């Protein structure tokens, strides 16, 4: 039963991930990404961490991808749909290199897991909510807060850039 669920969600995640890259319509790509993320959330659930699964659905599919959809719907998607938006060779090559690096890292991890160095197994205790919380807010408090600050800086800069670029149109709309 558990194996069946793993196979179903694993396959769903893989297939939809391929669709994300391969599909011509941005809306369908985004929706496939939703399927990918929900399937991975299901895998998290099977690993015994409902908290992580819920967080993934809440943040990624519930908030971030809705914003993606929002932006795509606001833009004129007809042009991209016909495939006129060509990819530059630089994009292709950097994507290929990144993919190889990632594949290498995953292979290395798998190798380690089956070789001498044994990765620490996930325990019920480790994924429990209380322990996750104390890890975040006690052991790694400073890095956690710094990530928050980093995100804040990113938001401020992004809104500044948007404001500067759209200064004229904003004047008009007032």
Partner 1 sequence: MSPETLAALAKMGLWLAFLINVAPIMLWVERRAPAFMQDRLGPNRVGPLGFFQGIADAAKFIFKEDIEPATADRGLYLLAPVLALVPCLTTYLVIPFGPDIEVAGRTMASVVIDSDSGIFVFLALASLGVYSLVLAGWASNNKWSLIGAIRASAQMISYELALTLAVVAALVPAGSLHLGRVVDYQIGERLFGFLPAWGVLVQPIGFLVFLVAMFAETNRLPFDLPEAESELVAGYHTEYGSIRFALFFMGEYMAMAVLSALAATLYFGGWSLPGVDLMQLPGVLPALVGFVILTVKVAIFMFLFVWVRWTFPRFRYDQLMRLGWKVLLPLALANLVYVAALAVGGKL
Q: How far apart are CA 44 and CA 52, in angstroms?
A: 7
Rounded to the nearest whole angstrom, what is the least distance from the CB of residue 25 to partner 1 in the complex?
A: 9
Nearer to partner 1, 10 or 62 (CB): 62
Q: How far apart are CA 64 and CA 58, in angstroms?
A: 9
Q: How many degrees, rounded to 5, is the angle at CA 113 between CA 111 and CA 116? A: 85
Rounded to the nearest whole angstrom, what is the least distance from the CB of residue 152 to partner 1 in the complex?
A: 14
Q: How far apart are CA 171 and CA 174, in angstroms?
A: 5
Nearer to partner 1, 87 or 130 (CB): 130
Q: How far apart are CA 41 and CA 102, in angstroms?
A: 21
What angle in degrees, to the nearest 10, is found between the helix axes of 65-74 and 26-46?
180
Nearer to partner 1, 58 or 97 (CB): 58
Nearer to partner 1, 91 or 134 (CB): 134
Rounded to the nearest whole angstrom, what is the least distance from the CB of residue 159 to partner 1 in the complex?
A: 13
The residues binding partner 1 (CB under 8 A) are: 27, 31, 34, 50-51, 53-58, 61-63, 66-67, 69-70, 73-74, 128-130
Rounded to the nearest whole angstrom, what is the least distance from the CB of residue 62 to partner 1 in the complex?
A: 3
């Amino acid at each position: 039963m558990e194996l069946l669920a793993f196979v179903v969600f694993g396959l769903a995640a893989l297939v939809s991930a391929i669709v994300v890259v391969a599909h011509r319509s941005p809306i369908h790509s985004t929706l496939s990404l939703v399927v990918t993320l929900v399937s991975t959330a299901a895998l998290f659930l099977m690993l015994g961490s409902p908290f992580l699964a819920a967080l993934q659905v809440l943040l990624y599919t519930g908030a971030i991808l809705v914003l993606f959809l929002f932006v795509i719907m606001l833009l004129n998607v007809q042009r991209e749909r016909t495939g006129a938006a060509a990819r530059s060779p630089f994009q292709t090559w950097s994507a290929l290199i990144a993919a190889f690096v990632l594949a290498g890292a995953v292979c290395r991890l798998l190798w380690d897991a089956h070789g001498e160095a044994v990765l620490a197994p996930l325990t019920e205790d480790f994924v429990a909510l209380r322990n996750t919380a104390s890890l975040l807010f006690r052991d790694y408090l400073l890095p956690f807060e710094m990530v928050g600050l980093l995100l804040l800086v990113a938001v401020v800069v992004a809104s500044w850039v948007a404001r500067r670029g759209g200064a004229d149109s904003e004047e008009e709309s007032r």
